[in-house]
Chain A
Amino acid sequence: MATATATVPTGPTAPTFRRAGFGDVVSSEWMKLRTVRSTFWTLVALFAGSAAVSLLICLAAADQYAKDRAAGNPDSSPDIVMLGLLFIGQIAAYVLGVMTISAEYSTGAIRSTLSAMPRRVEILVAKAILLAVVVFVVGLAAAFACFYLGNIPLQAKHVGVKLSDPGVLRGVFGSALYVAGLSVFGLAMGFLLRHTAGAITIGLALIFIIGGLVQLIPGSIGRWLYKVMPGNAGAQVSQFGEMKRNADKNFAPWTGFTVFMLEVVVLLVIGAILFERRDA
């Protein structure tokens, strides 16, 4: 395969080229996102995994849910149809976000990336925008899939939920927004820790374990911490309507999502500062 002759076209380039702009960085990052298999499989897991889990949960819970509704149990909410997305979907979105940068560090590709494009903040911003858009689009498809599939067993028990019910459309779109935000949260954690396993472990522990444990802290501090934990705050926007559970413990939907987005932005800014300062 070796071509033994070294033929290099032309001489040193005359400076006729244009400056590589932010658009070029976005195109390059978009190509990078598309050309690794992990992106494809994570998005498949996000869509298919969420839809399948929503269907299974609703199949298993439809009977009990119908009884609770009939008894007027305030803890029962039709947003159980979205649980697949809030379980598998948020893991997949977070992992995709982490991997988008941590895989570059673990493979060493970051050195090629930064040699080609040393304006580091542009790379971070491009990655964040692309992730948010891609995960929102796939997340929205997954949210509708969860909604319609989860509804099948509920409708069979005559307790189906309609998109026109109060807060439902907001909850479906909100779920997609939440997972999109979560992927950017993962990206920020990846930039901070530069280590796939570390960032995934810490992030998932924060959302699934610590987020619940902080309510054990007594008094108003514990209640406040519970409210502002990223998973708790962000997920409020995915809850359906006025039947939202534990209304006293949580933020209102958009307030929670705003708090979550502020947390993501703060992490991303810290990530950008460290990315700019640290040796690659």
Chain B
Amino acid sequence: MIRAVGLTKRYGDRLAVDHADFTVESGTVTGFLGPNGAGKSTTMRMILGLDHPTAGTVTVSGRPYRQLPAPLREVGALLDAKAVHGGRSAYNHLACLATSNRIPLKRVDEVISLVGLDRVAKKRSKSFSLGMGQRLGIAAALLGDPGTLLFDEPVNGLDPEGILWVRNLMKSLAAQGRTVFVSSHLMSEMALTADRVIVIGRGEIKADTTMREFIAQNASTHVRVRSPHLGKLHELMTGTGWQVEAAPDDEDALRVYDVTSDAVGELAGQNGLWLHELAVVQPSLEEAFMSMTADSVEYHAGLGGMEPGASGGSGTDPGAATNTAVAQPGRPNGEAR
């Protein structure tokens, strides 16, 4: 279990982490989400004792990291794949780490086969691809068979097979009762992997809850309607008292809230209006995340129409918009439609 109390980190006059309180519970995969520069990596580095908090504390299994008698036995971390000396072989890198924690060298061979690096174990790691480097970092994290694991962007640079492997690995690690704390900017990946979610924006903890609750609270289910009679339909639906809005991504579509798709279809049929599309859209983690952190994104891209909160619709390419629309319902949190 990881517990942060009032955890604060200040770099000059920039507050990177601002009085963060959160708990990462055992036996769960907890996702750590936030825009770039929100303080994810800084928080993880403070958990590992690499950076000193300006104020507050963070403990692992009840103790500050620096007081752990043999840290690798309790916490395994993948911070960045490049935290290795490229001139050293993968085997030697792991052997050096294992030795410092009195971990027998046969465990090095075990984790090497576990991550599938057997054939390159004796090669110098500077020749490794990003994916192989990522596997080496995961091997290092598993060396001490620890009860707590920290992964910062673990699927970065992995091929689809590798991503699946990491996903299953994290789930099996959590199923064994271990604490898994994982940051990622890949929302769909997080939605598939994490049970709980901690959201950080501009150094502040915005949410610390279950994935399901987080999505339910921050984005709502709606019915998507596309029709050549949009104006008429809009009038009818508002007349019935439904909450309707133009879909931000498609000028030929509407979003209707708090009704079933059956009701919308029936209303259109009764009035002889054609529908080109009628779908229940589950909100995605991405939408929930965007709505929560819209005001705390450190670096906005200069694309006016794409910014959260900008008036949507008017200038979007209909072809592209349709693609997004089709893709969106495919991102529910594993829940039935």
Contacts and interface: CB of A to CB of B under 8 A. Distances in A.
Interface of A: 1-13, 15, 17-21, 24-25, 27-29, 31-32, 35-38, 103-104, 107-119, 277, 279-280
Given A36-B88, A118-B65, A10 B165 contact: no
Contact of B99 (A3, A27, A115, A279): A27
Interface in B307-336: none
Interface in B32-91: 45, 48-52, 65-66, 68-75, 77, 79-80, 82-89
A8 B169 contact: yes
Contact of B71 (A3, A37, A118): A118
Contact of B164 (A4, A31, A111, A277): A4
Contacts of B97: 28, 112-113, 116
Contact of A5 (B73, B100, B119, B168): B168
B304 interface: no
Contacts of B92: 31, 35
A219 B58 CA distance: 57
Given A3-B113, A8-B173, A111-B79, A24 B146 contact: no
A117 B101 contact: yes
In the A-B complex, list the 9 residue pairs whose CB atoms are closest, starting with the nearest: A12-B147, A28-B100, A19-B69, A6-B169, A35-B92, A279-B51, A28-B99, A111-B83, A3-B116
A280 B50 contact: yes
Given A35-B88, A111-B80, A8 B140 contact: no
Contacts of A118: 48-49, 65-66, 68, 71
Contact of B83 (A1, A19, A32, A112): A112
Contact of B50 (A1, A107, A111): A111
A166 to B, nearest CB: 45
Interface of B: 45, 48-52, 65-66, 68-75, 77, 79-80, 82-89, 92-93, 95-97, 99-102, 110, 113-120, 140, 142, 144-147, 159, 161-162, 164-165, 168-169, 171-173, 176-178
A280 B70 CA distance: 19
Contacts of A116: 71-72, 97, 100-101
Contacts of B93: 109, 112
Contact of A108 (B84, B102, B118, B147): B84
A29 B84 CA distance: 14
A279 B65 contact: no
Contacts of B115: 3
A12 B177 contact: yes
Nearest to A106: B85
A12 B92 CA distance: 25
A96 to B, nearest CB: 14
B100 A20 contact: yes
Contacts of B73: 13, 15, 17
Nearest to A25: B100
A20 B87 contact: no
A61 to B, nearest CB: 39
22 contacts: A1-B119, A2-B165, A8-B173, A12-B176, A12-B177, A17-B73, A18-B69, A20-B102, A31-B96, A36-B85, A36-B87, A38-B87, A108-B80, A108-B82, A112-B93, A113-B100, A116-B101, A118-B65, A118-B68, A279-B45, A279-B50, A280-B51
Contacts of B118: 1
B49 A18 contact: no
A2 B129 CA distance: 13
Contacts of B79: 111, 115
B114 A3 contact: yes
B176 A103 contact: no
B102 A24 contact: yes
B130 to A, nearest CB: 14
